[in-house]
Structure 1
Amino acid sequence: MTQSRRIFRSLLRNFLQAIPTIFIIVTLGFFMLQLAPGDAADFMAAEAGSATAETMAQLRSAFGLDLPLLSQLGSYYAGLANFSLGHSLRYGMPVSELIMQRLPGTITLMAAAIVLAVSLGLLAGTVMGMRPGRWPDRILSVLSLLFYSVPAFWIGLMLIVFFSIRLGWLPTGGGYTLGAKLSGLDWFVDRARHLALPALSLALYYVAIYARLVRASVIEAKSQDHVRTAIAKGMGRYRLIRVHILRSALGPITAMVGMHVAGILGGAVVIETVFSWPGMGRLAYEAILSREYTVLLGILIVSALLVIAMNAIFDIVQSLLDPRVAVR
């Protein structure tokens, strides 16, 4: 079977597996969200300052919140069958449009965090593995343990204090400079400055994991016969690392990144809240406060699909990096 056919079958299998996964996520998520006190009507009344019992009843009736739970769930499934994620009471717009406004921000943050985590993990792990037991290995090991032990939100707050408040180099939050009409390179630089601290805060935890993984892979690769032969033939250090050592380390890292996609997406909820980043994580936090269960279910569905899609992509990337790993 050709590689392209295997890739197609892998994508088709992931798509078919996504259907029961979404069904289970929606069902469990719906009933778990019902355990929280209050609903969107209660929040709207509290936000308005007061509301009569008749007004509350009208709100619940208008949005189907007074129906039995099974009827509400059946109505939601009927909407999904028509490719509708429902309507947001607070924002007054379809949930799908609301999520699509925030989805690019979350994908950008996740992509930047993954690139940073893999790049810094490869660099630190290679340095540690090439000189095990030496002072670079010891220092980077301590830093890795530190980043692994400290919560991401605390790292984010410390980065704000140091780089934003003390040095004034980077903004404290947001996705762009409000009121600035930028274009071209200036627009890109402004977005990159706002993205730097959230992406770094989200990435540092995974840098520690990937650095230790690369260190072990480098030490193992150095003991292999083909690497010893290359060293005996006088191959330069940097070419040796690039051609023989890093190639063997990329496979395990790719597999781990695929496993960590869900964790990175979950961590984005906290980081987006700390940095006021306009993404799905912050939207989920706002939806929890306002008891917008329809919005939360929509975010759950889109998040699950995003995780499934990224895992499928990383499976394919891993098979391309390492021919010994076949796409099934």
Structure 2
Amino acid sequence: MRIGRYLLRRVLQLIPVLFVIVVIEFALIHLAPGDVARIMAGENQDPAYIEAVRHRLALDQPLPQQFLHYLGGLLRGELGDSSTYGTPVLTVIWQRVGPTILLLGTSLVIASVLGTVLGTWLSRRVGSATDTVLSVLAVGSYSIPVFWLGLVLILIFGVWLRVLPTSGMSDGTGGIGDVLRHLILPVAALTTVYLGQYLRLSRTTVHDTLREDYVKAARAAGFSERTILFRFALRNALLPIVTVFGLHLGLVLAGAVLTEAVFSWPGLGTLLYQAILARDIPLVTGTYLIIGVTVLIATILTDLCYAWLDPRVEYR
């Protein structure tokens, strides 16, 4: 019951936040240079047709009325039609969500699990030669531009060795194996960038937790080091890790624009990049809105995980 009231309150709090997101998004799009109606209709179109497009989109009305028209469409679940694809924006976005979730989800899970395991292992070896080497590599991993790392992987495994595909999601042959082969390089690039963050974070938090008084008390009570590490220290140390994972999870639908562009991965990041180049305003605004909603939902899910990991956290 307490969780239900907490969720209801958080959802109600999201309404003004979402409204602010819509206002900022609308303002930024309309402050951009260029005639939206002319861009959507095409430069060489008849002026009468351009005016018809402007009237259909309510662009011939004052800005406050344009915002009310846009807000009314959102309340009806309408994000408009893409000028590039000629279909509803939600339909276009929905077709790209799956590949992005596959790419980002796989990368985040591998990076978070592997990084936490390595970081926990290093927390017992702080100051050693192994800790120094892996810490330096971790800092280097999330300092490398992901697009540069992607190009290096393409050069090595796609051009020189010719063992892995370098673009797209499939060769058209179908099958899980075909998709997995195309997934290896972009996942390797993203996992490398995320891995260093989780390794450094888990190493520091677990090491600090092992020095807390309650851990010393558990050690004095005769608990084994394995029990102390996994039952007491690691569970409490997971809170900041879950926070970072939640922030990353909130950006899953945004897609790794640079990574998807480098590997021609047909996800939401590539869609957003193409929509910006084509000045497809409805598609750009719709994509940003979906991203904003995803970030808000991920924040709530992260908060819900806190009480499960730490009994001292209560839903108030």
Q: TM-score, normalised by structure 2?
A: 0.87
Gaps of at least 5 residues in structure 2 are none
1:303 and 2:300 equivalent?
A: no
Letter in 1 for 2:288: L
Question: How much has 1:12 moved relative to structure 2?
Answer: 1.8
In the TM superposition, what whole-angstrom CA distance separates every residue of 1:24-57 from its partner, at most 9, and x where no partner exists? 11111112112222236336535xxx44444433
The match for 1:89 among 76, 83, 87 is: 83
Letter in 1 for 2:80: G
Question: How much has 1:142 moved relative to structure 2?
Answer: 0.8
2:27 paired residue number: 31
Letter in 1 for 2:66: Q
How far, CA to CA, are the matches of 1:65 and 1:15 in structure 2? 32
1:13 and 2:1 equivalent?
A: no
1:122 and 2:122 equivalent?
A: no
1:211–1:90: structure 2 CA closer, same or farther, 3 Å change rule?
same
Q: TM-score, normalised by structure 1?
A: 0.84
How far, CA to CA, are the matches of 2:7 and 2:68 in structure 1? 29
1:178 and 2:171 equivalent?
A: yes
Give the count of matched residue pairs: 314
How far, CA to CA, are the matches of 2:102 and 2:9 in structure 1? 27
2:193 paired residue number: 205
How far, CA to CA, are the matches of 1:265 and 1:243 in structure 2? 34
How far, CA to CA, are the matches of 1:252 and 1:307 in structure 2? 17
Contact 2:250 2:298 in 1 (8 A): no
* Helix, strand or coil at the partner of 2:256: helix
1:79 paired residue number: 73
The match for 1:256 among 244, 258, 272 is: 244
Contact 2:104 2:255 in 1 (8 A): no
Aligned pairs for 1:46-125 (under 5 A) are 50-125=44-119
Contact 2:40 2:83 in 1 (8 A): no
Letter in 1 for 2:282: T
Moved more, 295-304 or 30-39: 30-39
Computed over aligned residues only, the root mean square deviation of the Cα atoms, in angstroms, reads 2.7
Question: How much has 1:253 moved relative to structure 2?
Answer: 0.6
Contact 1:18 1:305 in 2 (8 A): no
2:273 paired residue number: 285
1:151 and 2:139 equivalent?
A: no
Question: How much has 1:9 moved relative to structure 2?
Answer: 2.5
Gaps of at least 5 residues in structure 1 are none
The match for 1:41 among 38, 42, 66 is: 38
1:15–1:234: structure 2 CA closer, same or farther, 3 Å change rule?
closer
Question: How much has 1:320 moved relative to structure 2?
Answer: 0.9
Question: How much has 1:231 moved relative to structure 2?
Answer: 9.3
How far, CA to CA, are the matches of 2:38 and 2:315 in structure 1? 49
